[in-house]
Structure 1
Amino acid sequence: MSDSRIPTSTSVSESAVIEAPFSAVWHLIKLQNFSQFWSKLEKSDVVKSSSPETDVVKWTFKDGTELDVKLEEHSSIDHFITYSVISSQPALSYTSVVSTIRAYPVTSGKHEGQTFITWTGNFSSDADAGVIEDAKFKRREALADLAKVAAK
């Protein structure tokens, strides 16, 4: 039996130095605030949940795609959030993805006073090379958008 799929890593990691103070960047890294900086998003609204322990935000993209994203973990001490996509309209071509955004204040050197940020994604094994490439470029675009907004 032949499998025509191209073998690919099922993870993506993008990073950037944001030319803005850490506090200006970290303030925006909340699921419900993504539409304040990510130009591809029309809106990001908190979804009422049946469980008070569950934080879900609906991201509505300008192309009409809707993702329900669940906050899995948040640390104000280590400055990261982890979230998963729990539903999508239209349906995704893969089973799952868990993403983490981490922010670090740059404390010395040429970029002192700025912010280093990483955005990773770990996809289920059914994600193909196109999904991974799309995720890479979407993260790059979003980080560039974040840099523009945080620098204001």
Structure 2
Amino acid sequence: MSHSNIIPTSTSVVESAVIRAPLSHAWHYIKLQDFDKFWSAISKSEYVKGANEETDIVKWSFKDGSVIEVKQEEHSSINHYITYSVITAQPELTYTSVLSTIRCYPITSGELEGSTFVEWTGNFSSDADAGVIQDAKFKRREALADLSKVAQKK
């Protein structure tokens, strides 16, 4: 059996950015149901009706026609992070699962004091290929740039 066409790859991605706005401005947008307020790739973000009241599930409709439902796994207003997983996707994903976390940290000193450091990670199942990881990297970079634009205007 030949594996010559399989490219070994990390199954995680980490992207980060400094948002030149206070933590409160950036953190304000980091709610699954509000991603359409900053991420230009999303046309609509809405709660899924009929979801269990213990579970927050949000549907993201992207401008390219794809739709994913994400489930909030963890949220901390104290430590400023949110963790979510993808539970359904149209078209179907080429990998089994992904768990993503966005964390915000205030920059408290130095020339960027008053800004926010944002880190967006993704941990994919082992069946995610290099193309999936690259796509996730660039989507996160684009979304962080979009977040920076709206947080600075607030």
Q: TM-score range by the shorter chain?
A: over 0.9
Secondary structure class of the residue paired with 1:13: strand
User: TM-score under structure 1 normalisation?
Assistant: 0.98
Secondary structure class of the residue paired with 2:65: coil
CA distance in 2, matches of 1:11, 1:22: 25
> What is residue 85 of structure 1 aligned with on the other side?
86
Structure 2 residue runs without a partner (length 5+): none
Contact 2:51-2:57 at 8 Å conserved across structures? no
CA distance in 2, matches of 1:70, 1:34: 13
User: 4+ residue stretches of structure 1 with deviation over 6 A?
Assistant: none
Paired residue type of 2:64:
D
Structure 1 residue runs without a partner (length 5+): none
User: TM-score under structure 2 normalisation?
Assistant: 0.97
Alignment of 1:1-152 (within 5 A): 1-3=1-3, 4-152=5-153
Report how far residue 50 of structure 1 moved. Answer: 3.9
- Seq. identity, %: 70
RMSD over aligned CA atoms reads 0.7
Paired residue type of 1:83:
Y
Report how far residue 20 of structure 1 moved. Answer: 0.6
CA distance in 1, matches of 2:2, 2:103: 40
Per-residue CA deviations over 1:9-57 (Å, capped at 9, x if unaligned) read 0000000000011100001000000000000000100112442111000
CA distance in 2, matches of 1:50, 1:142: 26
Report how far residue 2 of structure 1 moved. Answer: 1.3
- How many residue pairs align between the two structures? 152
Per-residue CA deviations over 1:73-113 (Å, capped at 9, x if unaligned) read 00111110000000000000000000000000100001100
CA distance in 2, matches of 1:91, 1:69: 14
Contact 2:22-2:116 at 8 Å conserved across structures? yes
Secondary structure class of the residue paired with 2:133: helix
